[in-house]
Amino acid sequence: MEFETKAIHSGFAQEEKFGATFFPIYGSASFAYKTAEDLSEVFEGKKFGYVYSRISNPTVTAFELRMNALEEGIGSIATASGMSAIATVFFTLTEQEDEIISSDCLFGGTYLFFNEIMKKYGVKVHYVNINDIDSWKKLINKKTKLIFFESISNPKLEIPDLKTISKIAHEHNIPVIVDNTVPTPYLWRAKYFGADIIVHSTTKYISGNGTTIGGILIDTGNYDWKKSTNEKIKEMSSKAGNFAFLATARSKIYQNIGFAPSPFSAFLNLIGIETLPLRMDKHCENALKLAEFLKSNQKVVDVNYPGLQVHKFHETGRQQFNNKFSGLLTFFLNSKEECFNFINNLKLAKNLANIGDTRTLVIHPDSTIYLNCTQEEKNLAGVNEKMIRVSVGLENINDIIEDFNQALEKI
């Protein structure tokens, strides 16, 4: 099946009892069995069955199957948030004293997770310019357990060249983890460029309407876990074969920390996915038109959108994402006052901390999401006080441009 068809038909068949076309919300904490033998066999793994929704739940499974079909993976685990998907991957792949190599331009929450949680558990994070291979190749050693980056970094909008990065990583037997939140599987099947694990914040384009917090991780099947340098995963591979990562993640980390999403959240994500291809095309189209408008406006100092041909990462993005660049852009005015003034004069666009909604969203990252970051961290993330981030929505582009134009005229 093609992507658009899978987005609507994968993950579940029509429900049999009543013929419901959409998958039901199984709002049940636990699942009963007729006999003690039955339940025991499920616990022993001899028989498949649901036990307790912190471990797995049928509605959550439907969402996992659908996302897995879209990323063309071997399996996936849905989580309560994008952050808990990232945390599951990192806790599964690393032990105390291990090291990881990460791109230095990251979503703010991921920075905080690395600096406050991974550090506390004795894992060292090397921040690097991920496109500058020579700068991080020399950091690789026996303790290096993974390489991590965002496929379009939020909010700097840099685009790493995954093929080149994964080639080096795989030569050293290191798995590559890609946060594919901003392009989504519709713009990019990172599996075919060498990604081993893909993570998403489904809060954004996947759910699509800003209705729920959610995340997911997908094993693409590229990495041979029998060769893992993590002892626990290697051990698991004797039982679970190439599902060793997923089995370790679910049984040793996810269910024990309690990262499971609610079935209602999985239901909202399932609905969202059905229109993902349509929405992404429109987000991309509107973002390019808004970027072009901003570029031509006298009051705007600079515009950062990889869809613009002058953009540093336009060519990498064109090859990787089939000439589409998602719906995020940033632009720069002359001062913080001008940025605040602009935001306060908007009538249509919402001033809030999210992306990937149907609505057009703006935020002044320096005084909000990055408020507690050091100057150095802000520099790495490409954030300064003259910058506004826009998540371009699905309204008619003329209305979006008119709103931005009238707000710019007032500064």
Ligand X SMILES: *Cc1c(COP(=O)(O)O)cnc(C)c1O
Residue whose Cβ sits closest to ligand X: 82
| Alpha helices, DSSP H, located in 113-262 | 133-137, 162-171, 184-187, 231-240, 244-248, 255-257
Q: Angle formed by the axes of helices 397-409 and 336-345, to 10°?
A: 130
Q: Which residues of the shown chain bind ligand X in the complex (CB under 6 A)?
A: 81-83, 107, 109-110, 150, 154, 179, 181-182, 201, 203-204, 213, 215, 355
The minimum distance between CB 180 and ligand X, in angstroms, equals: 9
The minimum distance between CB 272 and ligand X, in angstroms, equals: 13
The minimum distance between CB 5 and ligand X, in angstroms, equals: 27
**Residue 7 or 355 with smaller CB distance to ligand X:** 355
**Residue 88 or 237 with smaller CB distance to ligand X:** 88
The minimum distance between CB 45 and ligand X, in angstroms, equals: 31
| Cβ pair 377, 125 in contact under 8 A | no
Q: Are strands 144-150 and 176-179 parallel, antiparallel or unpaired?
A: parallel
Q: The tokens of 277 are what? A: 């291809």
**Residue 247 or 249 with smaller CB distance to ligand X:** 249
| Cβ pair 391, 328 in contact under 8 A | yes
**Residue 76 or 201 with smaller CB distance to ligand X:** 201
**Residue 80 or 333 with smaller CB distance to ligand X:** 80
The minimum distance between CB 316 and ligand X, in angstroms, equals: 17
The minimum distance between CB 199 and ligand X, in angstroms, equals: 7
Q: The tokens of 308 are what? A: 């613009």
Q: What SS3 class is residue 179?
A: strand
Phi-psi label, residue 101: left if phi above 0, alpha if psi -120 to 50, beta otherwise = beta
Task: Report the run of H or E that residue 402 belongs to, with start and end.
Answer: helix 397-409
The minimum distance between CB 133 and ligand X, in angstroms, equals: 22
- Residue 30 is classified by DSSP as B
> How deeply is 1 buried, as exposed, middle or buried, from its count of CB atoms within 10 A (0-12, 13-18, 19+)?
exposed
- Residue 252 is classified by DSSP as I
